Amino acid sequence: MPLRILCFFTAVSLLFTVSVFSCEKTGVYRHVCTDEKKIALTFDDGPHYKYTEQILDILKKYGVKATFFVIGVNAEKYPQKVKRISDEGHEIGNHTYSHLNLRELDEKEIRQELIKGERAIQKITKKKPKLLRPPGGAYSDLVIKASSEMGCDIILWSQDTRDWAHTPADKIVCGIMDNVKGGDIILFHDFVCPDTPTPEALEKIIPKLLKSGYEFVTVSELIGE
């Protein structure tokens, strides 16, 4: 084999080895390997008529950018909230149209959920979402296929605040501070009814993380897109 071709194949196989052993499976991210103190806050299930505003006010107060995975049905119900999220520089990802378990759907149904969710967002923001968070983190090879054909990465999380289980705000704060590391994708929800702990937890955790030197970025910034 000529040396030039041999070098090419060696380079390709080296690249393959590096990509296989990197932190993320291509297109599915739980966190990002980095030495930088960058983290991404994410908020699922919104927008909510009341709590999304509270969350946005807190993020604005500290100049923090985050990522909101909105449900299509809720986006149609509260388009002004979606617009505010987008106008204030946060990223919006697809959390499907009606929040079904994608692992239980066939290929056609998965596509419908993703496309309808995407259209609901795009109609308001005029931007095509690049990220998908499957409800409950439940995905399959069919979901990966549909998502990648739509040009979206699947985003899971490395830290679950368990706000959905009504975890008290102080416990959420301790949990994050004990475990946080650069590259984390942190899971919150726009709302948990009744008495969501999320705004209170955010108001406490953001200044602590800023003081510890963490920088808040959107998920696309974190994964380098």
Residues lying near Zn ion in the complex (CB under 5 A): 44-45, 135
Of 135 and 214, nearer to Zn ion (C-beta) is 135
Of 155 and 209, nearer to Zn ion (C-beta) is 155
- Which of 31, 44, 90, 99 is the catalytic position? 44
Residue nearest to Zn ion (CB): 44
Minimum CB separation from Zn ion for residue 127, in Å? 21
- Which of 48, 90, 99, 189 is the catalytic position? 189
Minimum CB separation from Zn ion for residue 9, in Å? 44
Minimum CB separation from Zn ion for residue 110, in Å? 16
142: which 2 tokens? Answer: 């069919």
| Whether residue 44 lies in the annotated active site | yes
Q: What angle do CA 165, 197, 170 make, to 5 degrees?
A: 95
Count CA atoms within 13 Å of residue 53 on its CB side: 6
Of 137 and 182, nearer to Zn ion (C-beta) is 137
Spell out the residues 6+ positions from residue 36 whose beta carbon is closer than 8 angstroms to its own.
182, 183, 215
Q: What is the C-alpha to C-alpha distance for residues 140 and 145, in angstroms, rounded to an integer?
A: 9
Of 92 and 209, nearer to Zn ion (C-beta) is 92
182: which 2 tokens? Answer: 């650069």
| Whether residue 189 lies in the annotated active site | yes
The residues pairing with 43 across neighbouring beta strands, listed in sequence order, are 68, 188
Between the alpha carbon of residue 10 and those of residues 6, 14, 204, the distances in Å are 6, 6, 51
Minimum CB separation from Zn ion for residue 89, in Å? 23
Please give the positions annotated as active site.
44, 189
